[in-house]
Amino acid sequence: MNQLQAADAIRLKQYMQKAVDRSKYFIGYPISQDFDYRELYPLLGLPLNNVGDPQVESTYDLNSRSIEREVVDFFTELFNAPVKNSWGYVTNGGSEGNLYGLYVARELYPNAVVYYSEATHYSVQKNIHLLNMPSIVIRCQSNGEMDYEDLNQVMQLHRHQPAIIIANIGTTMMEAKDSVPAIKAILHNCAIKNHYIHCDGALAGTYLALLDDANDFDFSHGADSIAISGHKFIGSPIPCGVVIVKKNYRDRIGKTIPYIGTIDTTITGSRNGHSPVFLWHAIKRMGREGLKQRAINSLAMAEYAVQQLNSIGCNAWKNENAITVVFSAPSKEFCQKWQLATEGDWTHMICMPGITKEKVDEFLNDLMEESRLKTAMAEA
């Protein structure tokens, strides 16, 4: 086997060391790093490809379809999807799940208007543009949640058209949750019978569904499709996600493809066959109760972070049942070091699984040191 040239080997070594170093200062994005998939390393030598529908076998037999179906079954049950009328697949991430939900909704209601809040993930606006769908942006409340009064007023003006609503189950900056029951009530008030609700639960969807009193967004509450990210709360070295939708909706878009011997019902052609195995491994290893405890631990760590930040004079807060802690943005250099996502005067830290009390304390000590330096410079 050919070897890397000496310069290329050095370049790779330097990159790998930098990646390891930067992973130590990673607290501003919703990515879990506490996974261990060494048991699965032999699969990296195989071209696993789940091309086509996960429920229909293919002539491409080097796949992980059976594993993928078990992952989908887990989320189908978690989100209370109708047992005999649900379908899903493992995606490349939450953005693809959002695209799929919008795609299915458009095929159901070609003349519908899409409603989404100004705090919605950027993928939704991009997907709406790709699908050429008319849309209206709804205002947000101060905590990032959709302004239902604005939604009601706007829907009243377009009550003659079907409605497609994107409900955020954890916005990117403040982890706000839009209320599906409130949206359903507005649809009823406007007498809009033809409607579709897609829940973007990329970060919070999985763990909220595991908590006893935090799930008001699943299929039993009115969702027509739900998308989550697998590399966020569960954790994966490869970005991935899951989308669950009502099966009779999926049936409207499926096409038989003789070349692969299966049905084309997904967004992409070839699909990563490794990600389903990562998710399956984590789900089977931790179980539902283990995942629930994972959520409880993260929520407790977020509460600790809020208290500690406020104790040092930093204005910090979080939404209910959120692991995202919002606070006043420090210097650009500090945000760069800790990889903090910033919007206007606000930034956030996200207490993902794997973020320990020691890591939070290290972050706080670094923040206090910056504050001391800033004060010393101002007094000089």
Q: Kindly state whether residues 56 and 16 are assigned to the same domain.
A: no
Q: Count the helices and strands in the chain (H runs, E runs).
A: 11, 13
Q: Kindly state whether residues 279 and 295 are assigned to the same domain.
A: no
Q: Kindly state whether residues 214 and 80 are assigned to the same domain.
A: yes
Task: With beta carbons less than 8 A apart as the criterion, state whether 325 and 351 touch.
Answer: yes
Task: With beta carbons less than 8 A apart as the criterion, state whether 120 and 152 touch.
Answer: no
CATH number, position 187: 3.40.640.10
Q: Kindly state whether residues 58 and 107 are assigned to the same domain.
A: yes
What does the pLDDT read at residue 212? 85
Helix (H, G, I), strand (E, B) or coil at 254: coil
Q: Which residue has the tokens 């629930």?
A: 292
* Residue 375 belongs to some domain of the structure: no
Tens place of pLDDT for every residue, the chain, 380 residues? 688 999 999 999 999 999 999 999 999 999 999 999 999 999 999 999 999 899 988 888 999 999 999 999 999 999 999 989 999 999 999 999 999 999 999 999 999 999 999 999 999 999 999 999 999 999 999 999 999 999 999 999 999 999 999 999 999 999 999 999 999 999 999 999 999 999 999 999 999 999 988 889 999 999 999 999 999 999 999 999 999 999 988 877 766 555 455 678 899 989 999 999 999 999 999 999 999 999 999 999 999 999 999 999 999 999 999 999 999 999 999 999 999 999 999 999 999 999 999 999 999 999 999 877 666 556 65
Residue 28: DSSP 8-state: B
What does the pLDDT read at residue 184? 97
What does the pLDDT read at residue 56? 86
* Residue 207 belongs to some domain of the structure: yes
What does the pLDDT read at residue 299? 97
Overall domain count for the chain: 2
- Give residue 294's domain range: 6-36+288-367
The model carries a pTM of 0.94
Which helix (H) or strand (E) segment is 180 a member of? helix 180-189
The answer to whether the Cα torsion of 357, 363, 367, 368 is positive or negative is: positive
CATH number, position 29: 3.90.1150.10
* Residue 274 belongs to some domain of the structure: yes
β pairing state of 135-138 and 113-117:
parallel
* Degrees to nearest 5, angle at CA 219 with 283 and 138: 110
* Whole-angstrom distance, CA of residue 343 vs CA of residue 348: 9
Q: Kindly state whether residues 61 and 192 are assigned to the same domain.
A: yes
Q: Kindly state whether residues 269 and 307 are assigned to the same domain.
A: no
What does the pLDDT read at residue 306? 98
